Structure 1
Amino acid sequence: MRLRVDLIPREELSFSDVVLVVDVIRATTTAAAFLEAGASALYLTPSIESARAFKDEDVILGGEVGGLKPQGFDLGNSPQEALEAQVGGRTVVMSTTNGTKAAHLAARSAKHVLLASLYNAHAAARLAHELATEEVAVLCAGKEGRVGLDDTYTAGVLAEFLQLMGQYELDDGALVALSTRRTYPDPLEPLSLSAAAQALKQVGLEDDVPFCAQVAKSPAVPLLVGRSGEALIFHRGTSQRSSQVGIPVVS
Protein backbone atom coordinates (compact mmCIF):
# COMPACT_ATOMS: atom_id res chain seq x y z
CA MET A 1 0.00 0.00 0.00
CA ARG A 2 1.21 3.50 -0.81
CA LEU A 3 1.07 6.50 1.52
CA ARG A 4 1.29 9.88 -0.13
CA VAL A 5 1.19 13.39 1.35
CA ASP A 6 0.56 16.49 -0.76
CA LEU A 7 1.58 19.52 1.29
CA ILE A 8 -0.48 22.02 -0.71
CA PRO A 9 -3.44 21.67 -3.09
CA ARG A 10 -2.55 22.06 -6.77
CA GLU A 11 -5.03 22.08 -9.63
CA GLU A 12 -3.15 19.36 -11.53
CA LEU A 13 -3.36 16.83 -8.67
CA SER A 14 -5.34 13.63 -9.14
CA PHE A 15 -6.03 10.77 -6.75
CA SER A 16 -6.58 7.10 -7.44
CA ASP A 17 -8.03 5.85 -4.16
CA VAL A 18 -8.61 7.30 -0.66
CA VAL A 19 -7.88 10.92 0.30
CA LEU A 20 -7.73 12.37 3.80
CA VAL A 21 -8.28 16.14 3.49
CA VAL A 22 -6.64 18.14 6.29
CA ASP A 23 -7.36 21.72 7.32
CA VAL A 24 -6.74 21.33 11.04
CA ILE A 25 -7.14 25.07 11.84
CA ARG A 26 -10.09 24.88 11.51
CA ALA A 27 -12.37 23.47 8.81
CA THR A 28 -11.82 19.72 9.14
CA THR A 29 -11.80 19.93 12.94
CA THR A 30 -15.07 21.87 12.85
CA ALA A 31 -16.60 19.43 10.36
CA ALA A 32 -15.97 16.50 12.73
CA ALA A 33 -17.37 18.53 15.63
CA PHE A 34 -20.62 19.22 13.74
CA LEU A 35 -21.16 15.51 13.08
CA GLU A 36 -20.23 14.66 16.66
CA ALA A 37 -22.85 17.18 17.80
CA GLY A 38 -25.47 15.23 15.82
CA ALA A 39 -25.73 16.95 12.43
CA SER A 40 -27.36 14.56 9.96
CA ALA A 41 -25.30 15.78 7.00
CA LEU A 42 -22.56 18.23 6.17
CA TYR A 43 -22.56 20.07 2.84
CA LEU A 44 -19.27 21.69 1.75
CA THR A 45 -19.67 24.41 -0.87
CA PRO A 46 -16.90 26.09 -2.89
CA SER A 47 -18.03 29.64 -2.06
CA ILE A 48 -19.95 31.70 0.46
CA GLU A 49 -22.52 32.57 -2.21
CA SER A 50 -23.23 28.93 -3.06
CA ALA A 51 -23.62 28.16 0.66
CA ARG A 52 -26.25 30.90 1.03
CA ALA A 53 -28.28 29.28 -1.77
CA PHE A 54 -29.01 26.32 0.54
CA LYS A 55 -30.39 28.42 3.39
CA ASP A 56 -33.80 27.46 4.74
CA GLU A 57 -35.34 26.75 8.15
CA ASP A 58 -33.86 23.24 8.32
CA VAL A 59 -30.32 24.26 7.33
CA ILE A 60 -27.53 25.73 9.46
CA LEU A 61 -24.94 27.86 7.67
CA GLY A 62 -21.40 27.75 9.05
CA GLY A 63 -18.15 29.11 7.71
CA GLU A 64 -15.67 31.95 7.59
CA VAL A 65 -14.11 34.69 5.51
CA GLY A 66 -10.83 35.94 6.92
CA GLY A 67 -11.50 33.78 9.97
CA LEU A 68 -14.78 35.56 10.78
CA LYS A 69 -18.40 34.48 10.42
CA PRO A 70 -19.85 35.73 7.11
CA GLN A 71 -22.84 38.03 7.14
CA GLY A 72 -26.09 36.10 7.36
CA PHE A 73 -24.47 32.86 8.56
CA ASP A 74 -25.66 31.13 11.72
CA LEU A 75 -22.23 29.99 12.89
CA GLY A 76 -18.58 30.64 12.18
CA ASN A 77 -15.83 28.08 11.74
CA SER A 78 -15.12 27.38 15.41
CA PRO A 79 -14.99 23.70 16.42
CA GLN A 80 -15.84 24.62 20.01
CA GLU A 81 -18.95 26.45 18.82
CA ALA A 82 -19.84 23.57 16.48
CA LEU A 83 -19.63 20.97 19.23
CA GLU A 84 -22.07 22.97 21.38
CA ALA A 85 -24.43 23.97 18.56
CA GLN A 86 -28.02 22.75 18.37
CA VAL A 87 -27.59 20.87 15.10
CA GLY A 88 -29.09 17.48 15.98
CA GLY A 89 -30.80 15.95 12.96
CA ARG A 90 -30.15 19.02 10.80
CA THR A 91 -28.02 19.74 7.75
CA VAL A 92 -25.00 22.02 8.14
CA VAL A 93 -23.71 23.84 5.06
CA MET A 94 -20.09 25.00 5.32
CA SER A 95 -17.80 27.16 3.25
CA THR A 96 -14.28 28.18 4.32
CA THR A 97 -11.24 29.80 2.75
CA ASN A 98 -8.96 26.76 2.41
CA GLY A 99 -10.49 23.49 3.64
CA THR A 100 -13.63 23.29 1.53
CA LYS A 101 -11.66 24.10 -1.63
CA ALA A 102 -9.21 21.27 -0.89
CA ALA A 103 -12.11 18.86 -0.41
CA HIS A 104 -13.55 19.83 -3.80
CA LEU A 105 -10.15 19.24 -5.42
CA ALA A 106 -9.92 15.75 -3.89
CA ALA A 107 -13.48 14.90 -4.91
CA ARG A 108 -12.69 15.38 -8.60
CA SER A 109 -10.88 12.05 -8.84
CA ALA A 110 -10.71 10.15 -5.54
CA LYS A 111 -12.77 7.04 -4.83
CA HIS A 112 -13.25 8.07 -1.20
CA VAL A 113 -12.81 11.47 0.47
CA LEU A 114 -12.58 11.83 4.25
CA LEU A 115 -12.10 14.96 6.35
CA ALA A 116 -9.31 14.50 8.90
CA SER A 117 -7.76 16.52 11.71
CA LEU A 118 -5.89 15.87 14.92
CA TYR A 119 -9.25 15.76 16.68
CA ASN A 120 -10.39 12.64 14.79
CA ALA A 121 -6.96 11.46 13.63
CA HIS A 122 -7.09 7.85 14.75
CA ALA A 123 -10.66 7.23 13.59
CA ALA A 124 -9.95 8.90 10.23
CA ALA A 125 -6.73 6.92 9.69
CA ARG A 126 -8.47 3.65 10.57
CA LEU A 127 -11.39 4.27 8.20
CA ALA A 128 -9.00 5.30 5.41
CA HIS A 129 -6.97 2.13 5.95
CA GLU A 130 -10.12 -0.01 5.78
CA LEU A 131 -11.36 1.65 2.58
CA ALA A 132 -8.06 1.74 0.68
CA THR A 133 -7.08 -0.85 -1.89
CA GLU A 134 -3.88 0.71 -3.25
CA GLU A 135 -3.17 4.15 -1.78
CA VAL A 136 -3.98 6.52 1.05
CA ALA A 137 -3.27 10.16 0.19
CA VAL A 138 -3.26 13.04 2.66
CA LEU A 139 -4.09 16.38 1.07
CA CYS A 140 -3.10 19.37 3.20
CA ALA A 141 -5.19 22.50 2.61
CA GLY A 142 -2.32 24.82 3.58
CA LYS A 143 -2.85 28.54 3.94
CA GLU A 144 -3.83 30.43 0.79
CA GLY A 145 -1.54 28.46 -1.50
CA ARG A 146 1.37 28.06 0.92
CA VAL A 147 2.50 25.10 3.01
CA GLY A 148 1.01 25.12 6.52
CA LEU A 149 3.03 23.87 9.48
CA ASP A 150 -0.19 22.88 11.24
CA ASP A 151 -1.46 20.73 8.37
CA THR A 152 1.96 19.19 7.70
CA TYR A 153 2.24 18.18 11.35
CA THR A 154 -1.27 16.69 11.26
CA ALA A 155 -0.37 14.71 8.14
CA GLY A 156 2.56 13.28 10.09
CA VAL A 157 0.29 12.18 12.93
CA LEU A 158 -2.05 10.51 10.43
CA ALA A 159 0.94 8.80 8.79
CA GLU A 160 2.06 7.43 12.15
CA PHE A 161 -1.38 6.01 12.88
CA LEU A 162 -1.59 4.46 9.41
CA GLN A 163 1.78 2.79 9.88
CA LEU A 164 0.45 1.14 13.04
CA MET A 165 -2.21 -0.56 10.91
CA GLY A 166 -0.15 -1.87 8.01
CA GLN A 167 2.89 -1.65 5.76
CA TYR A 168 3.02 1.49 3.63
CA GLU A 169 5.43 2.66 0.96
CA LEU A 170 6.04 6.33 1.78
CA ASP A 171 6.57 9.16 -0.70
CA ASP A 172 8.74 12.21 0.03
CA GLY A 173 5.74 14.22 1.25
CA ALA A 174 4.95 11.54 3.82
CA LEU A 175 8.58 11.53 4.99
CA VAL A 176 8.50 15.33 5.38
CA ALA A 177 5.26 15.12 7.36
CA LEU A 178 6.64 12.40 9.64
CA SER A 179 9.81 14.41 10.22
CA THR A 180 7.71 17.44 11.16
CA ARG A 181 5.64 15.35 13.55
CA ARG A 182 8.79 14.04 15.27
CA THR A 183 10.22 17.55 15.64
CA TYR A 184 7.38 18.64 17.93
CA PRO A 185 6.43 16.37 20.87
CA ASP A 186 3.55 18.67 21.86
CA PRO A 187 0.89 19.17 19.13
CA LEU A 188 0.04 22.63 20.45
CA GLU A 189 3.50 23.95 19.57
CA PRO A 190 3.43 23.54 15.77
CA LEU A 191 -0.22 24.57 15.61
CA SER A 192 0.48 27.73 17.63
CA LEU A 193 3.47 28.62 15.45
CA SER A 194 1.54 28.24 12.20
CA ALA A 195 0.35 31.09 10.01
CA ALA A 196 -3.23 29.88 10.48
CA ALA A 197 -2.97 30.30 14.25
CA GLN A 198 -1.36 33.72 13.89
CA ALA A 199 -4.21 34.82 11.63
CA LEU A 200 -6.76 33.70 14.24
CA LYS A 201 -4.89 35.62 16.90
CA GLN A 202 -5.24 38.80 14.86
CA VAL A 203 -9.04 38.48 14.94
CA GLY A 204 -9.27 37.35 18.57
CA LEU A 205 -10.07 33.69 17.91
CA GLU A 206 -6.87 32.07 19.17
CA ASP A 207 -8.82 30.06 21.79
CA ASP A 208 -9.74 27.62 19.00
CA VAL A 209 -6.11 26.55 18.57
CA PRO A 210 -5.84 24.40 21.74
CA PHE A 211 -9.09 22.67 20.78
CA CYS A 212 -7.67 21.87 17.33
CA ALA A 213 -4.50 20.50 18.98
CA GLN A 214 -6.38 17.68 20.75
CA VAL A 215 -5.39 14.29 19.32
CA ALA A 216 -7.72 11.33 18.75
CA LYS A 217 -10.59 12.70 20.85
CA SER A 218 -13.43 12.14 18.39
CA PRO A 219 -14.75 9.09 16.51
CA ALA A 220 -16.62 11.27 13.99
CA VAL A 221 -15.19 11.08 10.46
CA PRO A 222 -16.92 13.01 7.65
CA LEU A 223 -17.08 10.74 4.57
CA LEU A 224 -18.13 11.95 1.12
CA VAL A 225 -21.34 10.23 0.04
CA GLY A 226 -22.63 12.36 -2.84
CA ARG A 227 -23.32 15.80 -4.28
CA SER A 228 -26.11 18.34 -4.45
CA GLY A 229 -25.44 20.99 -7.05
CA GLU A 230 -22.09 22.54 -6.16
CA ALA A 231 -22.06 21.02 -2.67
CA LEU A 232 -20.23 17.91 -1.54
CA ILE A 233 -22.35 15.87 0.90
CA PHE A 234 -20.61 14.25 3.87
CA HIS A 235 -22.11 11.83 6.36
CA ARG A 236 -20.49 10.28 9.39
CA GLY A 237 -18.36 7.36 8.21
CA THR A 238 -18.38 4.12 10.15
CA SER A 239 -15.38 1.92 10.74
CA GLN A 240 -15.89 -1.82 10.97
CA ARG A 241 -14.10 -1.65 14.31
CA SER A 242 -15.11 0.42 17.33
CA SER A 243 -13.59 3.88 17.08
CA GLN A 244 -13.18 4.07 20.83
CA VAL A 245 -11.01 0.96 21.27
CA GLY A 246 -7.25 1.04 21.29
CA ILE A 247 -6.69 4.71 20.48
CA PRO A 248 -2.96 5.31 20.95
CA VAL A 249 -1.67 8.44 22.65
CA VAL A 250 0.57 10.79 20.67
CA SER A 251 3.37 12.20 22.80
Structure 2
Amino acid sequence: MRLRVELAPRAEMTFPDVVIVVDVIRATTTAVAFLEAGARTVHFTASPEAARAFRTRGALVAGEVGGLPPEGFDLGNSPREALAAPVRGREVAMSTTNGTRAAILAAQTARHVLLGSLYNAPAAARLARALAREEVAVLCAGKEGQPGLDDTYTAGVIAELLRAEGPLSPNDGAWIAFATREAYPTPLEALRRSAAAAALERVGLEADVPFCAQIGGSALVPVLKGQALDALAFVPYA
Protein backbone atom coordinates (compact mmCIF):
# COMPACT_ATOMS: atom_id res chain seq x y z
CA MET A 1 0.00 0.00 0.00
CA ARG A 2 1.38 3.39 -1.00
CA LEU A 3 1.36 6.35 1.37
CA ARG A 4 1.48 9.65 -0.46
CA VAL A 5 1.59 13.10 1.13
CA GLU A 6 1.24 16.19 -1.05
CA LEU A 7 2.32 19.31 0.83
CA ALA A 8 0.29 21.74 -1.31
CA PRO A 9 -2.22 21.36 -4.15
CA ARG A 10 -1.24 21.61 -7.80
CA ALA A 11 -3.79 21.72 -10.59
CA GLU A 12 -2.24 18.78 -12.47
CA MET A 13 -2.47 16.35 -9.53
CA THR A 14 -4.50 13.17 -9.87
CA PHE A 15 -5.46 10.65 -7.21
CA PRO A 16 -6.35 7.03 -8.03
CA ASP A 17 -7.73 5.91 -4.69
CA VAL A 18 -8.38 7.47 -1.24
CA VAL A 19 -7.52 11.07 -0.38
CA ILE A 20 -7.62 12.70 3.05
CA VAL A 21 -7.82 16.47 2.57
CA VAL A 22 -6.25 18.45 5.42
CA ASP A 23 -6.79 22.13 6.23
CA VAL A 24 -6.34 21.94 9.98
CA ILE A 25 -6.52 25.75 10.49
CA ARG A 26 -9.41 25.64 9.88
CA ALA A 27 -11.74 24.31 7.16
CA THR A 28 -11.52 20.56 7.72
CA THR A 29 -11.65 20.98 11.51
CA THR A 30 -14.69 23.25 11.18
CA ALA A 31 -16.48 20.86 8.82
CA VAL A 32 -16.19 18.10 11.42
CA ALA A 33 -17.51 20.49 14.08
CA PHE A 34 -20.55 21.40 11.96
CA LEU A 35 -21.40 17.73 11.48
CA GLU A 36 -20.82 17.07 15.20
CA ALA A 37 -23.33 19.86 15.89
CA GLY A 38 -25.92 18.02 13.82
CA ALA A 39 -25.64 19.49 10.32
CA ARG A 40 -27.10 17.12 7.75
CA THR A 41 -24.57 17.96 5.03
CA VAL A 42 -21.58 20.27 4.68
CA HIS A 43 -21.01 21.56 1.16
CA PHE A 44 -17.50 22.70 0.19
CA THR A 45 -17.88 25.28 -2.56
CA ALA A 46 -15.50 26.81 -5.09
CA SER A 47 -16.25 30.44 -4.22
CA PRO A 48 -18.22 32.68 -1.83
CA GLU A 49 -20.75 33.20 -4.62
CA ALA A 50 -21.28 29.45 -4.96
CA ALA A 51 -21.80 29.19 -1.20
CA ARG A 52 -24.35 32.02 -1.20
CA ALA A 53 -26.33 30.19 -3.90
CA PHE A 54 -27.19 27.52 -1.33
CA ARG A 55 -29.40 30.03 0.50
CA THR A 56 -32.17 29.21 -1.99
CA ARG A 57 -32.42 25.74 -0.42
CA GLY A 58 -32.34 27.02 3.17
CA ALA A 59 -28.69 26.34 3.91
CA LEU A 60 -26.57 28.35 6.30
CA VAL A 61 -23.52 29.92 4.66
CA ALA A 62 -20.15 29.81 6.42
CA GLY A 63 -16.49 30.43 5.67
CA GLU A 64 -13.87 33.12 5.32
CA VAL A 65 -11.87 35.42 3.14
CA GLY A 66 -8.75 36.67 4.88
CA GLY A 67 -9.83 34.78 8.00
CA LEU A 68 -13.15 36.62 8.41
CA PRO A 69 -16.64 35.83 7.10
CA PRO A 70 -17.48 37.63 3.85
CA GLU A 71 -20.39 40.04 3.76
CA GLY A 72 -23.71 38.27 4.07
CA PHE A 73 -22.33 35.00 5.47
CA ASP A 74 -24.16 33.54 8.48
CA LEU A 75 -21.05 32.10 10.13
CA GLY A 76 -17.29 32.21 9.90
CA ASN A 77 -14.80 29.37 9.70
CA SER A 78 -14.35 28.84 13.43
CA PRO A 79 -14.72 25.29 14.78
CA ARG A 80 -15.61 26.70 18.19
CA GLU A 81 -18.45 28.68 16.62
CA ALA A 82 -19.50 25.70 14.51
CA LEU A 83 -20.01 23.40 17.51
CA ALA A 84 -22.48 25.87 19.01
CA ALA A 85 -24.17 26.89 15.75
CA PRO A 86 -27.91 26.22 15.16
CA VAL A 87 -27.28 23.74 12.37
CA ARG A 88 -29.07 20.59 13.52
CA GLY A 89 -30.84 18.99 10.56
CA ARG A 90 -29.71 21.73 8.18
CA GLU A 91 -27.24 22.05 5.33
CA VAL A 92 -24.15 24.25 5.61
CA ALA A 93 -22.35 25.67 2.58
CA MET A 94 -18.71 26.60 3.14
CA SER A 95 -16.19 28.60 1.14
CA THR A 96 -12.65 29.14 2.39
CA THR A 97 -9.37 30.39 0.95
CA ASN A 98 -7.55 27.05 0.87
CA GLY A 99 -9.39 24.01 2.21
CA THR A 100 -12.53 23.92 0.11
CA ARG A 101 -10.50 24.38 -3.08
CA ALA A 102 -8.13 21.54 -2.20
CA ALA A 103 -11.10 19.23 -1.67
CA ILE A 104 -12.54 20.17 -5.06
CA LEU A 105 -9.20 19.29 -6.68
CA ALA A 106 -9.10 15.89 -4.95
CA ALA A 107 -12.68 15.10 -5.95
CA GLN A 108 -11.87 15.41 -9.66
CA THR A 109 -10.13 12.03 -9.72
CA ALA A 110 -10.20 10.27 -6.33
CA ARG A 111 -12.30 7.21 -5.58
CA HIS A 112 -12.96 8.42 -2.02
CA VAL A 113 -12.42 11.88 -0.49
CA LEU A 114 -12.30 12.26 3.30
CA LEU A 115 -11.80 15.40 5.39
CA GLY A 116 -9.08 15.08 8.01
CA SER A 117 -7.65 17.18 10.80
CA LEU A 118 -6.01 16.59 14.14
CA TYR A 119 -9.50 16.69 15.64
CA ASN A 120 -10.51 13.48 13.85
CA ALA A 121 -7.09 12.08 12.88
CA PRO A 122 -7.40 8.56 14.39
CA ALA A 123 -10.83 7.98 12.88
CA ALA A 124 -9.81 9.39 9.49
CA ALA A 125 -6.73 7.15 9.35
CA ARG A 126 -8.70 4.02 10.23
CA LEU A 127 -11.37 4.73 7.64
CA ALA A 128 -8.86 5.57 4.92
CA ARG A 129 -7.03 2.26 5.43
CA ALA A 130 -10.32 0.38 5.38
CA LEU A 131 -11.39 1.97 2.08
CA ALA A 132 -8.04 1.97 0.26
CA ARG A 133 -7.09 -0.56 -2.40
CA GLU A 134 -3.67 0.71 -3.51
CA GLU A 135 -2.93 4.16 -2.07
CA VAL A 136 -3.82 6.56 0.71
CA ALA A 137 -2.97 10.14 -0.15
CA VAL A 138 -2.96 13.06 2.27
CA LEU A 139 -3.49 16.34 0.43
CA CYS A 140 -2.46 19.38 2.46
CA ALA A 141 -4.37 22.53 1.57
CA GLY A 142 -1.36 24.66 2.52
CA LYS A 143 -1.59 28.43 2.42
CA GLU A 144 -2.23 30.21 -0.85
CA GLY A 145 -0.48 27.59 -2.95
CA GLN A 146 2.49 27.00 -0.64
CA PRO A 147 3.10 24.31 2.01
CA GLY A 148 1.98 25.20 5.52
CA LEU A 149 3.63 24.04 8.73
CA ASP A 150 0.26 23.34 10.35
CA ASP A 151 -0.98 21.05 7.56
CA THR A 152 2.40 19.35 7.10
CA TYR A 153 2.52 18.57 10.82
CA THR A 154 -1.04 17.23 10.70
CA ALA A 155 -0.18 15.09 7.70
CA GLY A 156 2.67 13.64 9.75
CA VAL A 157 0.30 12.72 12.58
CA ILE A 158 -2.16 11.11 10.18
CA ALA A 159 0.66 9.32 8.34
CA GLU A 160 1.92 7.83 11.62
CA LEU A 161 -1.58 6.61 12.40
CA LEU A 162 -1.90 5.14 8.91
CA ARG A 163 1.43 3.34 9.30
CA ALA A 164 0.24 1.88 12.61
CA GLU A 165 -2.62 0.22 10.70
CA GLY A 166 -0.19 -1.78 8.55
CA PRO A 167 2.87 -1.58 6.26
CA LEU A 168 3.04 1.33 3.84
CA SER A 169 5.44 2.59 1.16
CA PRO A 170 5.87 6.35 1.84
CA ASN A 171 6.73 8.94 -0.79
CA ASP A 172 9.12 11.84 -0.12
CA GLY A 173 6.24 14.06 1.00
CA ALA A 174 5.35 11.51 3.65
CA TRP A 175 8.95 11.44 4.94
CA ILE A 176 8.89 15.24 5.18
CA ALA A 177 5.62 15.04 7.12
CA PHE A 178 7.07 12.41 9.48
CA ALA A 179 10.10 14.63 10.13
CA THR A 180 7.90 17.66 10.77
CA ARG A 181 5.80 15.69 13.23
CA GLU A 182 8.93 14.59 15.10
CA ALA A 183 10.33 18.13 15.25
CA TYR A 184 7.66 19.48 17.62
CA PRO A 185 6.90 18.16 21.11
CA THR A 186 3.20 19.10 20.99
CA PRO A 187 0.62 19.78 18.29
CA LEU A 188 -0.08 23.22 19.74
CA GLU A 189 3.53 24.31 19.39
CA ALA A 190 3.61 23.28 15.74
CA LEU A 191 0.33 24.96 14.91
CA ARG A 192 1.18 28.17 16.77
CA ARG A 193 4.36 28.59 14.69
CA SER A 194 2.45 28.42 11.41
CA ALA A 195 1.58 31.29 9.10
CA ALA A 196 -2.06 30.26 9.38
CA ALA A 197 -2.01 30.81 13.14
CA ALA A 198 -0.30 34.18 12.70
CA ALA A 199 -3.03 35.22 10.27
CA LEU A 200 -5.71 34.31 12.82
CA GLU A 201 -3.94 36.30 15.50
CA ARG A 202 -4.03 39.37 13.26
CA VAL A 203 -7.83 39.19 13.10
CA GLY A 204 -8.36 38.29 16.75
CA LEU A 205 -9.24 34.62 16.27
CA GLU A 206 -6.16 33.01 17.83
CA ALA A 207 -8.39 31.06 20.27
CA ASP A 208 -9.25 28.74 17.39
CA VAL A 209 -5.67 27.42 17.30
CA PRO A 210 -5.78 25.37 20.55
CA PHE A 211 -9.08 23.87 19.41
CA CYS A 212 -7.53 22.83 16.09
CA ALA A 213 -4.56 21.30 17.97
CA GLN A 214 -6.70 18.66 19.73
CA ILE A 215 -5.95 15.13 18.57
CA GLY A 216 -8.86 12.72 18.46
CA GLY A 217 -11.60 14.97 19.81
CA SER A 218 -14.07 13.51 17.32
CA ALA A 219 -14.67 10.07 15.83
CA LEU A 220 -16.62 11.56 12.93
CA VAL A 221 -15.18 11.49 9.40
CA PRO A 222 -16.77 13.60 6.64
CA VAL A 223 -16.87 11.68 3.34
CA LEU A 224 -17.75 12.91 -0.13
CA LYS A 225 -21.23 11.75 -1.14
CA GLY A 226 -22.04 13.97 -4.09
CA GLN A 227 -20.61 16.67 -6.27
CA ALA A 228 -21.59 19.36 -8.74
CA LEU A 229 -19.40 21.64 -10.81
CA ASP A 230 -18.65 24.06 -7.97
CA ALA A 231 -19.63 22.21 -4.79
CA LEU A 232 -18.99 18.97 -2.92
CA ALA A 233 -21.38 17.37 -0.42
CA PHE A 234 -19.81 15.83 2.70
CA VAL A 235 -21.72 13.72 5.21
CA PRO A 236 -20.59 11.63 8.20
CA TYR A 237 -19.38 8.20 7.18
CA ALA A 238 -21.89 5.52 8.05
Question: Which TM bucket (shorter chain)?
Answer: over 0.9
Q: Residue in 1 aligned with 2:167?
A: 167
In the alignment, the residues of structure 1 paired with residue 95 and residue 33 of structure 2 have an alpha-carbon distance, to the nearest angstrom, of: 15
In the alignment, the residues of structure 1 paired with residue 124 and residue 177 of structure 2 have an alpha-carbon distance, to the nearest angstrom, of: 17
Residue aligned with 1:126, SS? helix
In the alignment, the residues of structure 2 paired with residue 218 and residue 174 of structure 1 have an alpha-carbon distance, to the nearest angstrom, of: 24
Deviation at 1:57, TM superposition (A): 6.6
- Supply the AA of the counterpart residue of 2:188: L
Residue aligned with 1:54, SS? helix
Q: Any conservation in 2 of the 1:19–1:137 contact (CA below 8 Å)?
A: yes
Q: Residue in 2 aligned with 1:93?
A: 93
Deviation at 1:135, TM superposition (A): 0.2
Alignment pair present for 1:73 and 2:73: yes
In the alignment, the residues of structure 2 paired with residue 166 and residue 56 of structure 1 have an alpha-carbon distance, to the nearest angstrom, of: 46
Alpha-carbon deviations, 1:77-106, whole Å to 9, x = none?
Answer: 000000111111100000000000000000
Residue aligned with 2:54, SS? coil
In the alignment, the residues of structure 1 paired with residue 230 and residue 67 of structure 2 have an alpha-carbon distance, to the nearest angstrom, of: 22
Q: Residue in 2 aligned with 1:29?
A: 29
In the alignment, the residues of structure 2 paired with residue 190 and residue 158 of structure 1 have an alpha-carbon distance, to the nearest angstrom, of: 15
Deviation at 1:58, TM superposition (A): 2.6
Alignment pair present for 1:233 and 2:209: no
- Structure 1: gaps spanning 5 or more residues: 239-251
In the alignment, the residues of structure 1 paired with residue 96 and residue 17 of structure 2 have an alpha-carbon distance, to the nearest angstrom, of: 25
Q: Residue in 2 aligned with 1:104?
A: 104
Alignment root-mean-square deviation, CA? 0.9
In the alignment, the residues of structure 2 paired with residue 98 and residue 131 of structure 1 have an alpha-carbon distance, to the nearest angstrom, of: 25
In the alignment, the residues of structure 1 paired with residue 209 and residue 230 of structure 2 have an alpha-carbon distance, to the nearest angstrom, of: 30
Q: Show the 5 A alignment for 1:72-221.
A: 72-221=72-221
- Supply the AA of the counterpart residue of 1:168: L
Residue aligned with 1:166, SS? coil
In the alignment, the residues of structure 2 paired with residue 34 and residue 117 of structure 1 have an alpha-carbon distance, to the nearest angstrom, of: 14
Residue aligned with 1:156, SS? helix
Q: Any conservation in 2 of the 1:4–1:170 contact (CA below 8 Å)?
A: yes
In the alignment, the residues of structure 2 paired with residue 205 and residue 33 of structure 1 have an alpha-carbon distance, to the nearest angstrom, of: 17
Deviation at 1:6, TM superposition (A): 0.3
In the alignment, the residues of structure 2 paired with residue 224 and residue 160 of structure 1 have an alpha-carbon distance, to the nearest angstrom, of: 23
In the alignment, the residues of structure 1 paired with residue 196 and residue 120 of structure 2 have an alpha-carbon distance, to the nearest angstrom, of: 19
Deviation at 1:219, TM superposition (A): 1.0
Q: Residue in 2 aligned with 1:12?
A: 12
Query: What TM-score results when the alignment is normalised by the length of structure 1?
Result: 0.93
Q: Any conservation in 2 of the 1:41–1:91 contact (CA below 8 Å)?
A: yes
Alpha-carbon deviations, 1:191-215, whole Å to 9, x = none?
Answer: 0000000000001110000000000
In the alignment, the residues of structure 1 paired with residue 228 and residue 42 of structure 2 have an alpha-carbon distance, to the nearest angstrom, of: 11
Residue aligned with 1:220, SS? coil
In the alignment, the residues of structure 2 paired with residue 41 and residue 166 of structure 1 have an alpha-carbon distance, to the nearest angstrom, of: 32
- Supply the AA of the counterpart residue of 1:208: D
Query: What TM-score results when the alignment is normalised by the length of structure 2?
Result: 0.98
Deviation at 1:108, TM superposition (A): 0.6
Q: Runs (4+) of structure 1 moved beyond 6 Å?
A: none
Structure 1 range deviating more: 97-106 or 227-236 = 227-236
In the alignment, the residues of structure 1 paired with residue 82 and residue 117 of structure 2 have an alpha-carbon distance, to the nearest angstrom, of: 15
Deviation at 1:157, TM superposition (A): 0.3
Q: Could you say if the C-alpha distance between residues 142 and 164 of structure 1 is closer, same or farther in structure 2, counting changes exceeding 3 Å?
A: same
In the alignment, the residues of structure 1 paired with residue 229 and residue 54 of structure 2 have an alpha-carbon distance, to the nearest angstrom, of: 10
Q: Could you say if the C-alpha distance between residues 145 and 166 of structure 1 is closer, same or farther in structure 2, counting changes exceeding 3 Å?
A: same
Q: Residue in 2 aligned with 1:243?
A: none
